[in-house]
Amino acid sequence: MRRAVFIVHARRFLIALLIPACARADPAAFAGPETTARANALLARMTLEEKAGQLNQLSADQSTGPGANPQNADELVKRGMVGAILNAGTARETNAYQREAMEDTRLRIPILFGLDVIHGYRTIFPIPLGLSATWDMGLIEQTARFAAGEASRQGVRWTFSPMVDIARDPRWGRIAEGAGEDPYLGSAVARAYVRGYQGIRLDDPSSIIACAKHFVGYGAAEGGRDYNTTEISERTLRDVYLPPFHAAVDEGAGTIMSAFNSIDGVPASANAFTLTQVLRKEWSFQGFVDSDWAAIRETMVHGIANDQRTAAMKSILAGEDMDMESKLFVSELPGLVGSGAVPVARLDEAVRRILRIKVALGLFEHPYVEEDAAPTDPEKGRALARKAAEESFVLLENRLSNGSPILPLLHLPGRKIALIGPLADSAADMLGSWSAKGQSKDVMTLRNALSDRAARDGMILSYAKGTDIAGASKSGFAEAVRAAKGADVAVLALGESGHDTGEASSRSRLDLPGNQEELLEAVSKTGTPIVLILFSGRPLATPWAAEHVQALLLGWFPGIDAGPALVRTLFGDSEPQGRLTVSIPRSVGQVPVYYNSLNTGRPKADPIAPGAPKPGAHDVSGYLDEKSTPLYPFGRGLAYTEFSYSPVQLGATAMSASSINNGESRLTVGADIRNTGSRDGTETVQLYIRLRGTSVARPVRELKGFQRVHLAAGEARHLEFSLGRDELAFWNIEMRDIVEPGSLYVWIAPDSARGTPAEVDLTP
């Protein structure tokens, strides 16, 4: 047995363990004395109108939409009335606008070009929720770095990513764009994206500025309905929703985007508590804040402003620096400053922050890009997309068929495979939502890749679409059933459309759209073993499928190399390594269901809490018609091998809370992990804690560390984690971020629902 020890300081997220050494961009690059001096020198020469112009962000393709200035974007740029443009995504477009700014304006201040580069620019990787399922921070950083290289070659030096909203409601379509329900993992992912986008130096032509969004609480929209209001206590805001943003700021993110929702009755784009108190005063954020699309104008719809002047005034005084598409800052700020309603110092601060980012990016020295530059290595991008997809797939079921798990599939000559379903050959859907400049012609579908593999290995492949994604017709069922009856195994590709998730794509139901489940049931009646691949941008509630199929593989929307990645996984050339970053409900009636919830006084079961009801008690928190537990819990994911865990090993059974709080001591915990199967495999080992006896109730479990470890068959390793102030502190009853005395329970487990805890006494 080989034995190795790994120690992780959890809040800093095992960076040294998981990825090659890579320095982050220096936050001082956009806040240092030289950068600030250059910005101040330019600021001193600007008129009031030119200052307001720097705060004005237009869309290249919608600059004449509702509320638009009567002049077109070109005329406004030439007058120095535009500081940033979004949706100009090619070198020809960005250069054209940039020439107007650099050649026709008095001060020659370059335009900052932004685009929603969410999971790739032209090379499209798995959707962010899928990428988060890799639990591989180095890989996520690599995808962001590649996307930055492709985007920057087109003059796009700013991405509206990462989206770091915590999302506990799968009805919300934008759950696809984030990292799921956990603030610890979400913080690690936020850091990885920022490092990838911004690189080591911001003035590197291949670097782009990151924008953490949506600040804050957007993922808590009531009813899962996009843009809806939120109701979040300050403690929950600080413990759950703010940490990923804090991590992004700490990693050096240059910009923040405020959200659409209201927080405690105040729209996020005019919320001084979040934008000034938390972001600027507590976190010392030195970048600039951008509004979301027309959100400043929408403060009037929210009801806190009756006119455009008041909307602009409230937003800039609260801490907004740039106005995306409302065009209210450029039209209203000169008058507001002239009247004294907005101090000139506040306007100058916003302009200074924007100018510093432009200076740090090197835009003044290099405002243009080559229009005929060779693309970033497309084969390297495709290989990275395939690797990311393979690591993102989550194997949720793998039952026995003829005495062995059905996956990986045998690939013997003459073996008959039926490929069925509306997503088996749909290239566009594999890109998912927010696919930037991705093109469906770049996608290799499951059908294409499986056809190639079948031809290579002498297998026989039949294909039947069966139905449309949201179809009602059963005219294709008969062909699908015939294909399944004549096959050794049926691979079904079912799920949502690639655009069923994303912005303004909320759903009230979480089952398979259309008549896809009826198709699945019809195929199941043939008795042919079924491998179900689910494509989606959100957790889908599929309890019937979970019970009846032989294998269930969650494929998300995997990107341009979807087909090859899936085929390699199905046949065992690669192993499924993904682990859930969001709980999957049994039904929509359970929503929200998430692992790190607070306990009730009458839980269904709790072996730790004294006085908890005994198993089988009637008056407990639950449903009459459904289990309380999710269909699949946070962290769950199978491999093609098995792993065993030893009991948790503690460095101490008692520690002083005050010494931990002062940074004087840390608790070491460990476990032995063994690959007990016959194949090599990768396990994501997860560390959870629970605190009891504290001044406020704490979640029943909280993720506080994780390590991905590859083990050969039969190999074992000892893994260690380190817990200190960053992992054990919380916002207590006095709203202080502090470690309190109490009982600490620690799990080292394969997911959030398994494992046996060890107890530590946290003394005063």
How many beta carbons lie within 10 A of that of residue 329, not counting itself? 31
CB 70 within 8 A of CB 336: no
- Which has the closest alpha carbon to 266: 239, 246, 237? 237
Beta strand ranges found along 309-451 (DSSP E): 323-324, 394-398, 400-401, 404-405, 416-420
Q: Which residues, 6+ apart, have CB-to-CB distance to 70 below 8 Å?
A: none
**Of these residues, 116, 292, 321, 561, which one is catalytic?**
292
Helix axis angle, 344-360 to 328-339, nearest 10°: 140
Q: Which residues, 6+ apart, have CB-to-CB distance to 607 below 8 Å?
A: none
- Which has the closest alpha carbon to 510: 427, 631, 404, 599? 631
Phi, psi of 62 (to 5 degrees): -140, 30
Q: Are strands 416-420 and 489-495 parallel, antiparallel or unpaired?
A: parallel
CA–CA distance, 237 with 240 (Å, rounded to integer): 6
Would you state the structure tokens that stand for residue 621, as one six-digit string? 């928190």
Q: Which residues pair with 747 in a beta bridge?
A: 688
Would you state the structure tokens that stand for residue 546, as one six-digit string? 């979970």
b/e sequence 611-635, b meaning 16+ C-beta within 10 Å: ebbeeeeeebebeeeeeebbbbbbb
DSSP letter (8 states) at residue 575 = -
CB 384 within 8 A of CB 142: yes
Q: Which residues, 6+ apart, have CB-to-CB distance to 403 below 8 Å?
A: none
Burial class of residue 317 in the structure, from the number of CB atoms within 10 Å of its CB (0-12 exposed, 13-18 middle, 19+ buried) = middle
CB 739 within 8 A of CB 24: no
CA–CA distance, 300 with 326 (Å, rounded to integer): 11
CA–CA distance, 532 with 492 (Å, rounded to integer): 5
Q: Is 239 a catalytic residue?
A: no
Coil, strand or helix at 561:
coil
Would you state the structure tokens that stand for residue 360, as one six-digit string? 């740090």
Q: Give the Å distances, CA to CA, from 403 to 305, 407, 489.
A: 68, 12, 15
* Active-site residue list: 292
